[in-house]
Structure formats: structure tokens, C-alpha cells
Structure 1
Amino acid sequence: MTSDTIMIPFYQALTEDVNALTAPQDSLQELRRSALERFSATGLPTLKTEAWRFTNIQRFLKEYPYELTSTPATTTADVANEANIPGLDAYRIVLVNGHLQADLSSIPEGKGIRIGAMSASTDAPGFAKWFNQHTQVNGEPLANLNTALFADGLFIELQANVSIDKPIHLIHVYTSDRHAFVQPRHLWVLQKGATATVIESTVHPKQEAVAFSNCVTEVVVADNAELWHYNVQQGAENFRQVNTTAAQQERDSRYHHFNITLPNTPFTRNNLSVVLHGSNTETNLKGIYLATGNQHVDNYTFMNHLVPNCNSNEHYKGVLLENANAVFTGRIHVHQEAQKTNAFQQNNNILMGDKATINSQPQLEIYADDVKCSHGFTAGQFSEDALFYLRARAIGEEAAKALLVNAFTHDVTDEIAVPALQEYIQGQIEAIMNN
């Protein structure tokens, strides 16, 4: 067993000695060791784990002899350019298996801006204060595994009242000549009054080896700060992913998260949790999942209202074709102190495949009495009347379905605040439906 390669199944290898996975001088060794102990105590989630009752992650981890590798890889400009969004004016940051590739990146610079590799940012004030502080990270088995094993990722810290003048386009490239289990780790801290927009895209070079990403992103939005966060999950047959995003908001802050999952990746699990630590916050969680074939997409969200006078709005929409399967679990927890909370959640689905399925679990847990909270779920087929109306006007069946899907997802895509990205997502949906 070498210092940068561990075979999966990983129980025996990981519990033997975390020193085999990290350098002796690693300042995070004790933290890694504690995370590994927590993971060892719980193990991987099973179908008996409440939050995973409709998703068998062990089946996907056993597909291939994955290797955990921390050795940096590189990519080419042509590969990174596959993630380009027409008309998007943005800074571009390229990560290969979680490692920053500086020669392909244009990183914003200026007073109060610190953006770079996580491995080079452990001395930053924001890192010391906020890294691995989110309660959901420490409570998630896959997140604990990431804490123990991550090699690198992207660190962002914006000082008070700093605004980045255009979006950051973060391009994740996953590539390996062997089946790889990759552990990217990110921390983004926006101090008081700071603002930013981050757009994430993924690229998967054509290769026989399969990459399995277990990614954790911690987000801190301080007083009166605002972050627009878009995660565009462009799929590939040679990719599987678990994404854990853990956000913390302080007083008067605003966090807008969009999760767009597109076809072809066989397995996607998105864990998204937001903790509201300050009053008068606004949180918007929006999602679209468009799944085909035998694709499995699982979205698990948790809104944790701790304090009064906060607003959260959540709307996820799914379109399931062929044999696709989706899971949506949306949990809202309103604590007794969180009076005058407004929390709304909606999950709508169209089942276009004869064997397509959806398991939806909207959940409200309310301990305050002066609140406005609601949740809802719908699942159904296309309106035959609408299809007939369009086809009667000489619109082909596939084109008609594409129009209806774009109309169905419009109330989510219409809230994308970056015009080039909004047009791109709408174009992707149309192209998929017309394929």
C-alpha cells in the first residue's frame, strides 16, 4: 500500500492507519483522524439509514475496483473548454480531480480577495475559523470520509464589502487512467457585505476508467453578504458523484443555490443543508433534474431555521424519461426560537417513461407557533390536451414535448440571474428533449 493509492473496498485500508493517507507534517492530521473514527463508527449508509432509504450507494461503490488517489493530474485547454458557456463573461478556475491547474485558470485578484488551492490556504483566517465547522458535515458519513481523505480543493475568502465584478466559472475535470475515488474539498467564506457568483460545471474526458467523486463544499455567508451558487451537473457514463454542500448564513444574508442535474451520469446524490444563524436571512434553493436511461438522481435538502424572521423558498422540478429513478427528500426544521419563519417547499415531477419512478419525502418539523410553512409534491404525465394542441399546429411530437418540458422548468430557469447561463440551461434542456 503506497501513500497515495488505497484500494476500495476501503474499510480495512482506511481504519488501519490514517497516516498512510496524509503526510506526517499535515497540520490537519488530528482532525482527519477524528473524522475517520466517526466514519468507522457509522460505516457507509445502507437502505436502513433513514436519509438513504431509497438509494443504495454501496451498489455503486462496488461496481469497479476504485482506487483512492491523491496524486495531482493535469488536463488540456481543449478538455476544459468543453465546459464553456457561450456568451458567459467570467473568471475561469480549473480543478482536475480537485487540484487547481493554474495555467488554465484566470483567478480574480485584488484587495480583500483570497482565492487558491485549499492545500495552500490553511493559514487563512477564514480557514482557521470555519473549516469543518458545519454540524451537517460532521454528521454525514461520506462527508466525514472526505474530511479524512481529501487532498485539495478551492478556497475562497472575500473580506468585508468586497464584490467580485463578474462570475467565477469553476470547471471540475475528473480524469484518471484507473477507476478513481476522488475527494475534492472546498471552503468559500464571504465576510460581512461581500458578494459573489460561482458557477460550477463538470467535464469528463472520454476514457474507459470511471471516476467517483465524493465532494464537500462548505459555504459561509456572513452578515449582509450574498452568494449566487449554481451547480450544473453535466453527466457522463464514466462518472458517479456524491455532492455535499453545507451552507451557514448570518444576519441579513442571502444565499441562492441552483442545482441542475442533466442526463447520463448513472448515480448522483446531492446533499444540501443550510443553517440559519442570523435573523432576516433569505434562502432560495432551486433544482432541476432531467434523467434518462437507468439514471438514479437523489436530492436531499435540509433547511435548519434556528432564529426568528427568516425566509426560505425551495422548489425542485424533475423530468424522468425511460427507466430513470429519482428521490427527493426535503426537510425543514423550525426550532422553537424561530418565530415568524416563512418556509416554503415544493417538488414537482413529470414521469415520461413507462418505468420511470419518483420517491418524494417532503418533511416539516415545526416547534414554533408563529410561522408560515408549507410543502407540496406532485407527479404525473404530460397533459394530453397540451400535446394535442401543439401537434394540431404542425409541431412534431418531440418538439412539442421539448416545449412543454421547457415550460415546466421555466419557473426555475427564469430565476437564474446570469443571462448567458439561463440561455445555456434552457438550450441544454431543449437539446436533450429533441435528441
Structure 2
Amino acid sequence: MTSDMILPFYQALTEDVNALSAQVPALATDTLQDIRRKALERFSTIGLPTLKTEAWRYTNIQRYLKEFPYELLTTAAAVAEDVVNSTAIPELDCYRVVLVNGHLQADQSTLPEGKGITIGAMSANTTATGFVTYFNEQQHLAAESMAQLNTALFADGLYIELAANTVVDKPIHVVNVYSCTAHAFIQPRHLWVLNRNAAATIIETSIHPETATIAFANSVLETVVMENAELWHYNIQQGAESFREVHTTAAQQHKDSRYHHFNFTLPNTPFTRNNLSVALKGSHTETNLNGLYIASKHQHVDNHTFMDHIMPDCNSNELYKGVLLDSSNGVFTGKILVHQEAQKTNAFQQNNNLLLGTKADINSQPQLEIYADDVKCSHGFTAGQFSEESMFYLRSRGIGEDAAKALMVNAFSHDITDAVKVPALQHFLQEQIAEIMNN
């Protein structure tokens, strides 16, 4: 591999993306094919992000797309049961949904049953009411070229729809397995719709078994939380040296709904970009965004969030924390937009970072854009190292330096992990953090 070599995959993205689209299986409806065509045209117009693209000014995605000769992968692969079982969260009583390269594996899944619950492959639900009404409907996706690329080229994904008044009795664990025999570019597409008064807890984890092949996932998830519905969504990104990811989540909330999103990015994946946008389309909504990223080695983690306050009397809280080890690099861009009609908005945003590596750094851009006059909005950013006084206190009581650092990172991340409402998941995350800091 040479760094200045132009690879066929990258060349197709920049010069002839239609050549890639010809490799994607056609899906069921003419409407969907028209959506694909328009997305392809838009991607061709926008192009890949560059360092001159404002939202990507600190992240050079082209470096990672040129890194290997990727192939567009639109199929699943056989995955051993022990690989799937290794993703289990200890003591978690849950339903399990297994996706391999975005394709549902029903024989390895344990799905909830009952009236009002639809869980299946996107490709099998393109005529479902929720799909017809909400697929690709969120305007925030139009500005994201990687989301447009996904719309044009995705092969399959996970469709969830809960009918009105449906409450899933225990968490749904979505296991994303990425498996390939050659360096692969994979594009899952998901849509989750919770209708009026519905409620669910969904936990996502990802695994790419360590191999000589690299998987680059460009995934898009749309979530719709209708009137008085509630969704708890936990996304746990467990790292792998052979994985790269752009993960886009676009959520919309309607009147009196509640949406709680947690994102945990753990070490080892060289490149992770998370795009999260929430459109508050109804009044009296509640939105909570929590994020914790721990990066090591030369890892690059970029979190880009957008809270779009459209209607009045809505509350949003956002807290993202980062722990940057070794020579890792973090990026946080958080924007709050308050429209003129969104009076009595209450919005809070905070980004705090610990820089523990001698060459670690963080670029943080909290942003407020307010067009209403009766609002309460605030944002903030901090970056620093361990308190010398705290370290001295712990060391003077016989606690070793590594153990002291682990204790302080645990305390630093506590207000994120403590907000996790699934006890088994909370314990799992706390153990993961302790193991990272003790190694």
C-alpha cells in the first residue's frame, strides 16, 4: 500500500459514484428507487467532506477512505455462534437482534413477539406505513454527504415499528457484526418508529472480529418518537484496530415525547465519527444526550451533535465527556439552534475533557444560535489533566499511580454511567472503563 495511490473505490467515490450504485441490489418500490437516485445526485454535487468543509474541519475522512482498497459489500457473511455470544452483556435480560453487515439473522436472534411489535429487515418492510411515512424524511440528513451516500448505496438494515400504546417489556440488544474477507465498505440503514404512547429501550453494540481485513461502516439510523412516546437508546462502540466508522443518527421528536441517547466510544478503533441530530418538532419534549469517549494510541474520535429546537416549551440537556490517552485526538462540535417560534426553550450543553497523554489533544466547538427572546440556554467546555492535589491525596494513602488514575477516571465519568437506567449495562460499562484504565 502506498499513501499517494488512488484506489478504484476512492476513485469511484470522487469521479463515478454511479459505478458503485450499479452494484447495489434494487429494492422494492419505485419511490425508493427515486429517493436513491436523488441521493446519488446530491452526493455527486456535495462530494466527500474535506478539511474545507466546516463540519469536518478537524477530521480528514479522505485519509481513511484512501487507506485501503475497499470493496462495496452488500451481502451478509456466515458468523459463528460463539462470535455472536461473545457480545452478550453479563446479567442482561434482553431480546437479541443480530445483524451481519446490516442484514438481519433471524436464526441467531431472539425477537419480541406480540401485537403491535414489528421487527424485521428494512428490505422486507419498504411498504410498511412507518417506512413509507418516515424513511429519509429528516431534513438534517440532506446536509450530510455521507448520509446521502448511504441512502444511495445501502443494501439492508433493521426496521422497528411499535404501534400506539405498545411497551416492550425488556431491552432489545441490537448486535452489529461486521465480517468480511477483503477490505470492505459497508452501509447499513435503519429506521425505528415509536408511535403514540409507545416505549422501548434499545442497546446497540458492534463487533468486528480482529482479522487482516478492514471494515469501514457508514451507517445511518433514523428514529421517530411520536406523541408521548419514550425511547432510551444506548450505543456502545467497542473498538477494534480493523474497524473504521461513520455513524449517523437522526432523531425527531413529537409533542410530549422523551428521547434519551447515550453514546460510549471505547479505545482501539483508529477512526470514529458520530453525527447525532435531534429535531424537536413538538412542544413539551424532553431530550437528554450523554456521551463518553475514551481514546488511546493514535485514535481519532469526532462527535458532532445538533439540537434543533423548532417548537416552544422544550427541554434539552447534553453532556459529553472525553478521556484522551497516548497520542489520541478528540473533536466535539455541539450546536444548539433555537428557532424564533421556540419560545421558553431550556437548553444546556457541556463538554469536559481529560487529556492524559503527552500528545493527546481536543478540538471543541460548543455553539449557540438563538432567534427567540424567552429562552434559557447555556454551553461550556473544559479541558485539563488530573488535579495534582487529588493525585497526591490518593498516592499518600498507598494507592499506586495507575490505580489512582483509574479511580479518578471512574469519578470523572460517573455522571454519565450513573444516568444509565439498565443496571446490568451500567455495571458492564463501569467494568469496561476500569479495565481500560488498568491496562
Deviations 1:155-211 (A, max 9, x none): 000000100000000000011000000000000000000000000001111210000
Given the alignment, which residue of 32, 56, 61 partners 2:60?
A: 56
Cα distance in 2, alignment partners of residues 166 and 233 from structure 1: 21
* 1:326 maps to which of 327, 330, 347: 330
2:40 equivalent to 1:22:
no
Q: Is the contact made by 1:18 and 1:32 (CA closer than 8 Å) also made in structure 2?
A: no
- The one-letter code sitting in structure 2 at the alignment partner of 1:153 is G
Q: Separation in 2 of the partners of 1:403 and 1:292?
A: 18
Alignment counterpart, residue 373 of structure 1, candidates 371, 377, 384? 377
Cα separation, 2, equivalents of 1:334 and 1:185: 29
SS of 1:288 mapped into structure 2: strand
The answer to whether the 8 Å contact 2:12/2:19 transfers is no
**Counterpart AA for 1:160:** A
Equivalent pair of 1:312/1:343 in contact (CA under 8 Å)? yes
CA contact (8 A) 2:263 2:292 kept: yes
Q: In the alignment, which residue of structure 2 is the partner of 1:133?
A: 137
Equivalence for 1:7: 9
CA-to-partner distance for each residue in 1:29-88, whole Å, 9 max, x for gaps?
A: 111110000000010000000000000000011000011011221211111112111110
Map residues 278-357 of structure 1 onto 2, 5 A cutoff: 278-357=282-361
Conservation of the 8 A alpha-carbon contact between 1:82 and 1:203:
no
Contact 1:8 1:68 survives alignment (8 Å): no
- The answer to whether residue 230 in structure 2 is matched with residue 226 in structure 1 is yes
Identify which range, 89-98 or 16-25, moves more after superposition: 16-25
Cα shift at 1:412: 0.7
Rounded to whole Å, the distance in 2 between the matches of 1:246 and 1:397 is: 41
- After TM superposition, give the deviation of residue 13 of structure 1 in Å: 4.1
Match of 1:174 among 170, 175, 178: 178
Partner of 2:432: 428
What is the correspondence of 1:381-420 to structure 2 with a 5 Å cutoff?
Answer: 381-420=385-424
- Kindly indicate whether the alpha-carbon contact (under 8 Å) linking 1:245 and 1:271 is maintained by their aligned counterparts in 2: yes
Q: Is the 8 A contact 2:75 2:103 kept in 1?
A: no
In structure 1, give the amino acid aligned to 2:225: V
TM superposition score normalised by structure 1: 0.97
Q: How do residues 85-164 of structure 1 correspond to structure 2 at under 5 angstroms?
A: 85-164=89-168
Quick one: distance in 1 between partners of 2:369 and 2:407? Answer: 37
Identical-pair percentage: 66
8 Å CA contact 1:297–1:325 kept in 2: the answer is yes
TM-aligned CA distance change 1:392 to 1:24, over 3 Å? closer
Amino acid at match of 1:10: A
For residues 142 and 420 of structure 1, the distance between their equivalents in structure 2, rounded to whole angstroms, comes to 34
Alpha carbons of structure 1 residues 176 and 26: separation in structure 2 relative to 1, 3 Å: farther
Tell me the number of residue pairs that the alignment of Structure 1 and Structure 2 aligns. 430
Letter in 2 for 1:119: S
Q: Distance in 2 between matches of 1:203 and 1:212?
A: 12
Q: Report the 3-state secondary structure (helix = DSSP H, G, I; strand = E; otherwise coil) of the residue aligned with 1:240.
A: strand
Measured against aligned partners, the alpha-carbon deviations of 1:89-137 in whole angstroms (never above 9, x if no partner) come to 0001110010111111001111011000101011110000000000011
The whole-number CA distance in structure 1 between the counterparts of 2:429 and 2:75 is 33
Q: Partner amino acid for 2:224? A: V
Instruction: Choose the corresponding residue for 1:71, options 41, 50, 75.
Output: 75
Q: State the distance in 2 between where 1:143 and 1:158 align.
A: 25
Q: Residue 25 of structure 1: CA displacement?
A: 5.8
Q: Which runs of 5+ in 1 are unaligned?
A: 1-5
What is the alpha-carbon distance in structure 2 between the residues aligned to residue 35 and residue 209 of structure 1? 29
Going from structure 1 to structure 2, the CA distance change for 1:268 and 1:246 (only over 3 Å counts) comes to same
Q: Contact 1:317–1:409 (CA<8 Å) still a contact in 2?
A: yes
Partner of 1:214 in structure 2?
218
Distance 1:307 1:25, change over 3 A: closer
2:200 is equivalent to residue 196 of structure 1: yes
What is the match of residue 362 of structure 2? 358
> What one-letter code is carried by the residue in structure 1 that aligns with 2:258?
R
Aligned partners of 1:17, 1:58: CA distance in 2, in Å? 17
Matched, 1:269 2:273: yes
Q: Which residue of 2 aligns with 1:3?
A: none
Of the structure 1 ranges 12-21 and 407-416, higher mean CA displacement relative to structure 2 is found in 12-21
Change (3 A) 1:24 1:236: closer
Residues 241, 425 of structure 1: alpha-carbon distance in 2 compared, 3 angstrom cutoff: same
- 2:28·2:123 contact (CA, 8 Å) conserved in 1? no
Question: Conserved in 2, the CA contact under 8 Å of 1:285 and 1:313?
Answer: yes
Post-superposition shift, 1:18?
3.5
Q: Find the counterpart in structure 1 of residue 5 from structure 2.
A: none
1:364-414: per-residue Cα shift (whole Å, max 9, x none)?
A: 000000000000000001011111111111111111100000000001110
1:255-281 deviation digits (Å, cap 9, x = unpaired): 000000000000000000000000000
Aligned equivalents of 1:24 and 1:88: distance in 2? 36
**Structure 2 length as normaliser, TM-score?**
0.96
Between stretches 275-284 and 69-78, larger displacement belongs to 69-78
Q: Which moved further from structure 2: 114-123 or 74-83?
A: 74-83
CA distance in 2, matches of 1:433, 1:16: 45
Cα shift readout 1:225-246 (whole Å, capped 9, x = no counterpart): 0000000000000000000000
C-alpha displacement of 1:426:
0.7
CA distance in 2, matches of 1:80, 1:10: 33
Q: CA deviation at 1:17?
A: 7.5
- 2:17 maps to a residue whose letter is L
Unaligned runs of 5+ in 2: 1-7
